[in-house]
Amino acid sequence: LSGTFNLKFQSINRPIDHTFMFVFILKINVISFILLDISVLNELFLGHLCYLLIDVPL
């Protein structure tokens, strides 16, 4: 996320061009994809734990 902050800080100091906007949008999309990927992995792990806890015979 520090890279995203650097891009925002640079955009204040200079005019925004199309290349800069493309890099900024691409960086946000990559971060979103990584967060989604982590979320899916957590969901699989937590879903597995939930299944194990519910399926315990009394």
Quick one: pLDDT at residue 54?
Answer: 55
pLDDT in tens, 31-47: 656 565 555 565 665 55
- Judged against a pLDDT cut of 50, whether residue 4 lies above it is answered with no
- Judged against a pLDDT cut of 60, whether residue 2 lies above it is answered with no
Of 3 and 39, the structure prediction assigns the larger pLDDT to 39
Nearest to 46 by CA among 56, 57, 38: 38
- In one-letter notation, the amino acid at residue 51 is Y
Quick one: pLDDT at residue 33?
Answer: 60
Quick one: pLDDT at residue 9?
Answer: 46
Are 21 and 8 in contact, with CB atoms under 8 Å apart?
no
Are 26 and 35 in contact, with CB atoms under 8 Å apart?
no
Are 11 and 20 in contact, with CB atoms under 8 Å apart?
yes
